[in-house]
Chain A
């Protein structure tokens, strides 16, 4: 069984592919921002860096994309790692100072003063989780655009998206709660993407319960005509409860 060494302790790699996964499996905490276990690793925030002591190129490497191989020895909180983490958090605070996740990290790392003044507080840390979530769960409506300091996340041309189905994956996955959506009468608005979607009425109670494109996409995926999405959660539960009861009689 291949093993690696983490903070001086031998740990079995098992089925884990990356060093971050091995650490999490062993209960060793490493901070992350752009990582999500259900999505492809991106390696952009660099908060999860660990120091390679042996078995690989010496230096710091992002653990979320570092392959876990037998013989690798790493340190998750060496002075070099902590110095780097602190500086990265300082850089992040410089763009998104009010984000709770960053403030918590700062407190953990013992940062009491911001070193970089912010000219204008942006709300996006460009972690790309929304893009990856939209690619994996949604309808591939989001992407990055521009380059370097101009880089941003969004929909093409910043106008109404034809691809967005309103699944809310982006809203739920954003670590700084930057993506806002709301209902306005019969429309579902996702402000950040300048997108307005029509809402579907429940076939049971007549209330709006989900964006129509989302319902359509789910129905396209189900070839079984019995399993149509047309009820809100409440009516769906009532419907299945009734079915269950009638089956029991």
Chain B
């Protein structure tokens, strides 16, 4: 049991030896994305090959480095040499790598970059793996990972340890300055701790953007016999998985944040409410809690301070609405996830009626560096009203899918084009969707908007939890708004009339528009008006933001709605029966791939000459569109609905 600072320091020393051992170390990204791509096979292959070849090396698991497109990721650390980071690995490459290491050769296949030094964000120091002038005749001219365009614009604070440490090892967490912040807090008063968080300007990263320090202050000032700290890990936005990544890659950062929060407001109980759909995250955080308890960092009289605190994990049961604070509280109390009127706010009357602070995973992960480096250090990063960094899940029609952490103020254009690498060269980006079902779509010409809570609000969307979905011209914006509304309808708790009945009506109208059943443009006015009422009168954040996708697509892409209504035409080629597919003879190279893929045998032609689609046989399944490498297949107005077919 850790009783004082000396022991924490000793543990850090030990941790550094584990993190940077004297043997050769292989690490494999074993978070959910990695596993889904085959990381377990790679891990086992490395182990087997090492055993067979008798190489004195170890293999350890690590979290997600963010480059999900390149999973499984493998890291090779030879003492005294820069770390080598590989992507898109498989069992064969794993075996080859081990053999190359055995022979002292540099394995270059799938090498993403090198790492010469690891930054310790919490302490503001860095650990040199090898000198920059390291020359072996082989590693000259190799690109550093930090110069890879995916990583260049990033600044990792919340995800500082993800992909760098073994999430199952508390010693490695301590090696990177872990639990120093909590120790520092115990030497301060709770008011001083809160002041530091206020100074930092940290705002809730779950989407609400409420100033974290102020929230803690309200809870601190409410006198009550008991108080609670909750971590909202019910990440439900489709396309967003930042929180899962932090829980799977650096669980102790959340535990430490919650310890600080508990100390600051005077709570003795923390609850992590995690989606049941994240079994690996639940397992990882549960193990981390056990480790912290064993070391005496959770429990009674922690570090002889008189402060007692423990954390339990409660799994969600499949309801998106439980990401809303009062619904989350209701579900912990054993009720349906129905939101409750606010005021009173959870900081006044929360769980079981007691003052409760609820913060998102990413918010908690930011606490430790802020405490150690100071609120003003954090406040220097970002914009005037949005401080620090934000983690985004950059997904969709973008070359580099993954998790990126950037300083607030970075433009969406930079994230999508520089970090993300843009989209398929034959296609144009049409819009970027942020904020999940509560957010909106930003058209391409507006992508210079900086990532900032208020600027995104002005543009008709929200920061949200960090989902950033890139959509190219093959996305129909009417269909996108229909998709989000159907999501919201299913997830609505059903308590209040505007959300339950209103979203149903909006969904009906959007479905009719997508099926070409609407001919009156005035339906768009009704759609708008109903959307505004739902926004104005719904009981909770889910209902209040449910109309955002519709309102933003109506605002920025009204022409698509009008085309669906007036011309019964879906230019993106998505809405069934509202388009025909034709091959552009100028772009078609006659490769015949589409013809082979067509399940209806509707495409014919001679190799080397433009092919044609038989409209009688075509069922618009779009398999040909997805197969074509030249973007030569277009959606044109449906002849049967009065449009003319022209190539």
Contacts and interface: CB of A to CB of B under 8 A. Distances in A.
A adjacent to B, CB under 8 Å: yes
Given A46-B539, A95-B501, A151 B494 contact: yes
A126 B504 CA distance: 15
B235 to A, nearest CB: 19
Given A60-B536, A80-B536, A91 B501 contact: yes
Given A43-B539, A84-B537, A94-B505, A147 B494 contact: yes
Contacts of A125: 497
B147 to A, nearest CB: 47
A49 B505 contact: no
Given A62-B341, A88-B537, A116-B505, A147 B493 contact: yes
A67 interface: yes
A87 B530 contact: yes
A116 B512 CA distance: 14
B537 A46 contact: yes
B560 interface: no
A46 B491 CA distance: 19
Interface in B298-350: 319, 336, 338, 341, 343-344
Interface in A175-207: none
B491 A83 contact: no
B519 to A, nearest CB: 16
Interface string A77-119: 0001001100110011011000000000000000000011000
A18 to B, nearest CB: 10
Contacts of A45: 496-497
Contact of A87 (B319, B489, B504, B529): B529
B497 A92 contact: yes
B616 to A, nearest CB: 35
Nearest to B537: A46
Nearest to B507: A149
A43 B539 CA distance: 8
Contacts of A62: 341, 539
B511 to A, nearest CB: 13
A43 B526 CA distance: 25
B180 to A, nearest CB: 39
B497 to A, nearest CB: 5
Contacts of B505: 91, 94, 116
Which of A66, A92, A144 has most chain B Cβ within 10 Å? A144
A148 B491 contact: yes
A45 B492 CA distance: 15
Contacts of A144: 336, 338, 494
A59 interface: yes
A65 B336 contact: no
Contacts of B493: 147-148, 151
A88 B499 CA distance: 10
Interface of A: 43-47, 49, 59-60, 62, 65-67, 80, 83-84, 87-88, 91-92, 94-95, 115-116, 125-126, 144, 146-151
Given A148-B493, A151-B500, 15 more contacts: A43-B341, A44-B495, A49-B536, A49-B537, A88-B498, A91-B497, A91-B505, A92-B501, A115-B526, A144-B494, A147-B319, A147-B493, A149-B500, A150-B494, A151-B493
